[in-house]
Chain A
Amino acid sequence: MNATRLKQIEQIYHAAVETTPAHRDAFVSGECGDDDVLLHEVRSLLSYDEISDSIIDGSPDAIAAEMFADKIESEFLGTTVGHYRIERLIGEGGMGKVYLADDMLLSRKVALKILPQTLIEQLDRLKRFKQEAIAASGLNHPNILTIHEFGTDEGSNYIVTEFVDGVTLREKIKDGLSLKEALEIASQVASALAAAHSAGIVHRDIKPENIMIRPDGFLKVLDFGLAKLSMPPELTEQGLEAATMFRTEPGMIMGTPNYMSPEQARGVKVDGRTDVWSLGVIIYEMATGKLPFAGETQTDTLVAILNQPVPIMDIFERDAPAELRRIIEKTLAKNVDERYTNIEELATDLKRICNRLEFESELNRNQGDPNLTNGGHPRETVTRMMPAADVAVSDKQVKASEAVADKLRRYAFALVAAVATFAVVAAGIIWYLSRPQTTADAPAAVSEPAQPAATRTLTYSLTVQSFTDGRYKEPFALSGEMLFRNKDRIRINVKGVQPGYLYILNQGPSDAGGSASYNILFPTPATNDGLAFLSGNEEIQIPEQSWFELDAKEGTELVWLLWSEKTIAELESAKRFANPTDRGRIQDPELTQSIAALLQSHPASGVKVERDDAQKISYVRASGDIIAHAVRLEHH
């Protein structure tokens, strides 16, 4: 076919479309005369008017989503978000994906959760969530996951928390738990919740997926404050929960209503006692391997939660102590007023059974073989969480009469308090030991506040996207030097350890004999609202949502970082050139001269630069009120 032929076909086609369907075929035949090929062409083209849902009638969105999703995961690994390098996906839920990441500033493993983009428009909710999550983390409870940071990167919100190298309670339940293990887990969760409740924070989404257990048995409760964020805003405004929270947003991964309290199922106001219920469901599940309330559909489950009595008989299939039945009935009371008012009481009750089981097994053992010392016993029967109690008991295990056992029990209760303190101290020690090692040249030291007052510290790194073979490669991090080529792109990441004023200038390769000229790169209206001030440990990316590209002029590009205790008048005055017309170029010759003088008066010799190539970060330190340091970009 050629263009002329196509025109001919098109003319007849459009004319035919104008005719009524009844006369159309006769019209086309008449127009085409004895050109059978033409007739066939036009007829077949007309027949496609009947088809309405072809590939072209849709949008390429589904195809795009499918294909991007296919590629994205592997490409995301190894890239950076803030100063974190993404290593691998470790979890995924309705509220975002969780990655194991490497904190390049502090050399430690962290968990990084990226929150859905939709939350960006809901700043108030996000703020409240942050407050609540930080408040919970700030309790410093050993069983509550520590939040390191909330950050934004290219418009996405992320949360950085400590990384717990363990498995979720869900996996533990699948593998099967002993009654004692179950009770230890429950009492740690209760302890975490008790601390949160006394600070006025309700978790609202206690379930096995939100409990991480380390190999040593120590556990962490995750995601305080997050449940509220996953609910429709109009409900949380009123302090209400919703039975529909699991099916609100299309496309969101559905949660399970199995751990929901009756008041959540009904969509009424909740308090700490909703967490008591959820923990009750977990205790039941751990003790029996079954869920107390479950139906074929979510609605069936909700109905069971609201109406069915606890199938308590199952518990006795496992010789659980009678007291456990009482605890479960009290945690799973449909009426909130019949439940534990204070989760602390539940924690105490759980610990009591824990201790009893322990002493009973201890007693049985001693009765079975009174000559054996503790050292000869298999250790796995000893509660892992309570090493202090274990030691104390082995000292006192001489006579095994009922009376002594009773006395021991009372003693043990006193120990519970001591054990709780021990757990906090132990957590502190574990934290201390697992801190990144600081060596003489270790940059990790910058995170510690104890710097001599006069020293200012600035860290920087570059993100580079190189242009090779006509396309841009994946971005990578760079601590300092490399040879740049035309069109290579960079982004500068800077963090001031102390609060202060940051200015960044670019000094291009000067023409032969020509004087220096400067461009202001930071602050600009697009970054940090045009303000030079950064609070301590605040990291900024320049440009925020874009890249700098090296122009064709080769030579040494200097990027001046000026980090000052006070504002710098010359540079404040230079800010006026950060507009689309001037593109940051400082056009005032007098101002240019005084900036050149300023840069000379703060020679680089007073500045100590340490480069950490492994972490791709450079540390710039100096005493005095202004640090001026030029990053050299060799461009040839």
Chain B
Amino acid sequence: MLNDVSHQITSLLVDWNNGDTNASAQLMPLVYDELRRMARRKMRREAPQHSFQTTDLIHEAYLKLAKHDEHNWQNRSHFFGVAAKAMRHILVDYARSKQSEKRGGGRQRVPLADEIVSGPDRSLELVALDDALKALEALDHRKSQVVELKFFGGLTNEQISEVLKISVETVKRDWRFARNWLLRELAAAG
């Protein structure tokens, strides 16, 4: 049978809501692809200078999916949780591929122009941040989730508290500490 993918995402969200933990794993690649496709479409069809907002993208993706089904708040926070993770993967995958390209794997580059134009290398920073976040995850999983939701998903403290089922106060404390911890890791690595 041919299934509409949008329906599939919503039904996986419902399954997840009903306690099917496997649904989350199935959801990831779908949301990843959806966001990547939407991001590309946005980028290729608008002037690149046009402001690009990852948060808007996630919200658009959600609205598009919500249109296909009735939704509730639970579904919504689940979706944002998955979307933040998907966004992290998308960005970090791009950043890593750019890094390996620079190491000589990919296209030929004009070194001088490259240095002048690009300024601080953001893709390098992002890869370092992802590594630091993985280290944090091993020590304190919840804190790494807070960072993921806030930084990659653009969620507010209130939304994060919904997704992780913790108080807003805890979200704030986690963020403050995790932020400093990550910055110190980055400084040590760089």
B71 → chain A closest CB, angstroms: 10
Q: For residue B125, which residues in chain A have a CB less than 8 angstroms away from its CB?
A: 55, 63
Q: List CB contacts (< 8 Å) of B22-72 with chain A.
A: 29, 33, 39-55, 64, 67-70
Evaluate contact between B47 and A252: CB separation under 8 angstroms. Answer: yes
Give Cα distance in the complex from A96 to B44, angstroms. Answer: 10
Dominant secondary structure at the B interface: helix
Evaluate contact between B67 and A48: CB separation under 8 angstroms. Answer: no
| Candidate in A60, A155, A253 with the most chain B CB atoms within 10 angstroms | A60
Interface status of A451 (Cβ within 8 A of chain B): no
Evaluate contact between A551 and B3: CB separation under 8 angstroms. Answer: yes
Interface status of A573 (Cβ within 8 A of chain B): no
Give the residue name and chain of the A residue nearest to B120 (CB).
A55
Interface status of A1 (Cβ within 8 A of chain B): yes
Interface status of A399 (Cβ within 8 A of chain B): no
Quick one: which of B1, B29, B49, B52 contacts A68, CB cutoff 8 A? B52
Evaluate contact between B183 and A56: CB separation under 8 angstroms. Answer: yes
Interface status of B180 (Cβ within 8 A of chain A): yes
Interface status of B77 (Cβ within 8 A of chain A): no
Dominant secondary structure at the A interface: mixed
Evaluate contact between A557 and B1: CB separation under 8 angstroms. Answer: yes
Total A residues in contact with B, Cβ cutoff 8 Å: 72
Evaluate contact between A56 and B129: CB separation under 8 angstroms. Answer: yes
Q: For residue B112, which residues in chain A have a CB less than 8 angstroms away from its CB?
A: none
Evaluate contact between A154 and B122: CB separation under 8 angstroms. Answer: no
Give the residue name and chain of the A residue nearest to B128 (CB).
A55
Evaluate contact between A64 and B176: CB separation under 8 angstroms. Answer: no
Evaluate contact between A73 and B44: CB separation under 8 angstroms. Answer: yes
Evaluate contact between B183 and A48: CB separation under 8 angstroms. Answer: yes
Interface status of B164 (Cβ within 8 A of chain A): no
A298 → chain B closest CB, angstroms: 18
Quick one: which of B2, B6, B129 contacts A559, CB cutoff 8 A? B2
Evaluate contact between A71 and B94: CB separation under 8 angstroms. Answer: yes
Evaluate contact between A68 and B4: CB separation under 8 angstroms. Answer: no
Interface status of B179 (Cβ within 8 A of chain A): yes
Quick one: which of B54, B129, B181 contacts A64, CB cutoff 8 A? B54
Residues of A within 8 A of B (CB): 1-3, 6, 10, 13-14, 17, 44-46, 48-49, 51, 54-57, 59-73, 75-76, 94, 96-97, 114, 116-118, 154-156, 251-253, 470-472, 489-490, 506, 508, 519, 521, 526, 543, 545-551, 553, 557, 559, 580, 583-584
Residues of B within 8 A of A (CB): 1-8, 10, 29, 33, 39-55, 64, 67-70, 87, 91, 94-95, 98, 122-123, 125-126, 129, 139-140, 147, 151-152, 154, 173, 176-177, 179-184, 186
A-B contacts, 17 listed (Cβ < 8 Å): A1-B139, A56-B129, A59-B55, A60-B152, A61-B55, A67-B98, A67-B123, A68-B43, A114-B45, A116-B46, A117-B45, A251-B47, A251-B49, A543-B4, A547-B5, A550-B2, A580-B68
